[in-house]
Amino acid sequence: MVNRVTDIDSGPVLDGVAGDSAQAAEVGLRGGAGLDDYYLVKGLTGMVRADGWFDAHWGAGVLAGYYLCRENRLEGQTVAGIKRQLDSRCCTAIIA
């Protein structure tokens, strides 16, 4: 596997600098339990249908929860807690 780090502006590539977390991200390794794509759709829909920049934060919160669970190794109880919060607060505020 190639282990590379580069600048955001396509600067120099540094071989062998990134640690295990970069390798895991490269191959798409994810944590155990995650949220299904329902939350991705809810978050994007909430941002698109928002009446203004402030209301778009509800959708952004759902997206943050989705990606937090998707890209980190969280315990099942933690994911379940995030899911409960999203279901009770954000998702109901976005679309019934």
pLDDT digits (tens, 9 = 90+) for 1-27: 343 443 333 444 444 444 444 444 433
pLDDT higher than 60, residue 49: yes
pLDDT band at 48 (very low <50, low <70, confident <90, very high): very high
Which pLDDT belongs to residue 14?
41
Amino acid code (one letter) for 90: C
Q: Which two tokens stand for residue 21?
A: 């977390």
Which pLDDT belongs to residue 89?
76
What's the start-to-end Cα distance of the chain, in Å?
A: 45
Q: Indicate yes or no: pTM above 0.95.
A: no
Between CA 59 and CA 78, with CA 89 as vertex, the angle to 5 degrees is 95
Amino acid code (one letter) for 69: C
